[in-house]
């Protein structure tokens, strides 16, 4: 905590020197740890009035101390449900094209924002987002809630929530292989190499990182991206 306090004081001094204002009262601190390990909690700083929080918001994404993503998904649900209800109130006055645009603006945009952090999450959490997408799809197509959702999503050409997350990871991987992402993303993806001439050498395969846990390790970009990328058919 003393190092963190010293760092914040340096940032505060630098900001004043460059005619900027840093609001220490709005500065948050979170200690991210595994829920499977017991770790000593951070003590409040004696230099600055800064106490560790169990949940913080960064660029619109809610993060908790164990990275379970419950808070972020609940926030998405609250926001999207409001949009869904408002569109439902005026649905009978709208045509299908206009309804689709409103759904993309108020619901799909929230489901897709930073959704790559939802990779390999438990099905119970992703089911909440899938139910929102199902409700939005039925709103557009004006179908009964008892109708099977798969044909409706096919008709709208919408990927389910889990596949949308995987698509975002694969798109990021593709950009990494073609030099279209920052260097820090390239550094976590390792191309497969071999001394022998193998057919897989021309397929741009990646080496998954070695992980010790499923709950956290399988959610890392260094593991999830190579696993999804290598599972694609060769022609893709």
Beta strands at 61-64 and 52-53: parallel, antiparallel or unpaired:
unpaired
64 is a domain residue:
no
Nearest one of 133, 72, 70, 79 to 106, comparing CA atoms: 79
What is the number of structural domains in the chain? 3
Strand partners, 52: 29
| Cα dihedral value 137, 140, 142, 146, nearest 10 | 0
138 is a domain residue:
yes
235 is a domain residue:
no
Q: What is the pLDDT of residue 118?
A: 96
Contact 62, 72 (CB under 8 A): yes
Q: What is the pLDDT of residue 49?
A: 67
Q: What is the pLDDT of residue 35?
A: 85
Q: What is the pLDDT of residue 46?
A: 61
Query: For the chain, which ranges sit under pLDDT 70?
Result: 44-49, 194-202
Q: What is the pLDDT of residue 99?
A: 97
29 is a domain residue:
yes
Q: What is the pLDDT of residue 95?
A: 96
90 is a domain residue:
yes
Question: Within this chain, do residues 151 and 191 fall inside the same structural domain, yes or no?
Answer: no
Contact 234, 203 (CB under 8 A): yes
pLDDT digits (tens, 9 = 90+) for 85-100: 999 999 999 999 999 9
Question: Within this chain, do residues 111 and 147 fall inside the same structural domain, yes or no?
Answer: yes
Q: What is the pLDDT of residue 40?
A: 75
Choosing from 161, 190, 213, the residue where a domain stops is: 161
Q: 212 is written with which tokens? A: 């010790």
19 is a domain residue:
yes
Rounded Cα–Cα distance for residues 159 and 145 (Å): 19
Question: Within this chain, do residues 172 and 157 fall inside the same structural domain, yes or no?
Answer: no
pLDDT digits (tens, 9 = 90+) for 177-204: 999 999 999 999 999 886 565 555 567 8
Question: Within this chain, do residues 75 and 129 fall inside the same structural domain, yes or no?
Answer: yes
Q: 61 is written with which tokens? A: 């994404």
59 is a domain residue:
no
Choosing from 53, 80, 95, the residue where a domain stops is: 53
- C-alpha distance from residue 58 to each of 9, 31, 90 (Å): 21, 14, 33
63 is a domain residue:
no
Choosing from 142, 161, 180, the residue where a domain stops is: 161
Range of the domain at 83: 70-161
Question: Within this chain, do residues 179 and 155 fall inside the same structural domain, yes or no?
Answer: no
Question: Within this chain, do residues 100 and 144 fall inside the same structural domain, yes or no?
Answer: yes
Q: What is the pLDDT of residue 29?
A: 84
């Amino acid at each position: 905590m003393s190092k963190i306090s010293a760092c914040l004081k340096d940032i505060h001094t630098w900001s004043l020197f460059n005619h900027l204002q840093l609001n220490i009262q709005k500065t948050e601190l979170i200690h991210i740890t595994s829920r499977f390990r017991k770790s000593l909690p951070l003590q409040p700083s004696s230099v600055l009035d800064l106490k560790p929080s169990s949940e913080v918001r960064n660029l619109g994404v809610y993060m908790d101390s164990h990275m379970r993503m419950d808070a972020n998904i609940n926030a998405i649900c609250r926001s999207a449900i409001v949009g869904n209800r408002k569109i439902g109130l005026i649905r009978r006055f709208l045509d299908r094209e206009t309804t689709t645009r409103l759904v993309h603006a108020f619901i799909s945009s929230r489901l897709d924002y930073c959704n790559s952090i939802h990779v390999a999450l438990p099905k119970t959490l992703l089911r909440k987002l899938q139910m929102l997408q199902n409700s939005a799809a039925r709103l557009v197509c004006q179908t009964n809630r008892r109708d099977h959702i798969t044909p409706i999503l096919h008709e709208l050409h919408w990927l389910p929530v889990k596949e949308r997350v995987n698509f975002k990871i694969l798109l990021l991987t593709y950009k990494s292989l073609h030099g279209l992402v920052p260097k820090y993303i390239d550094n976590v993806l390792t191309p497969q190499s071999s001394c022998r001439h193998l057919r897989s050498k021309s397929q741009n395969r990646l080496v998954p990182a070695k992980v010790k846990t499923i709950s956290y390790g399988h959610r890392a970009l260094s593991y999830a991206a190579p696993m999804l990328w290598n599972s694609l058919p060769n022609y893709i």
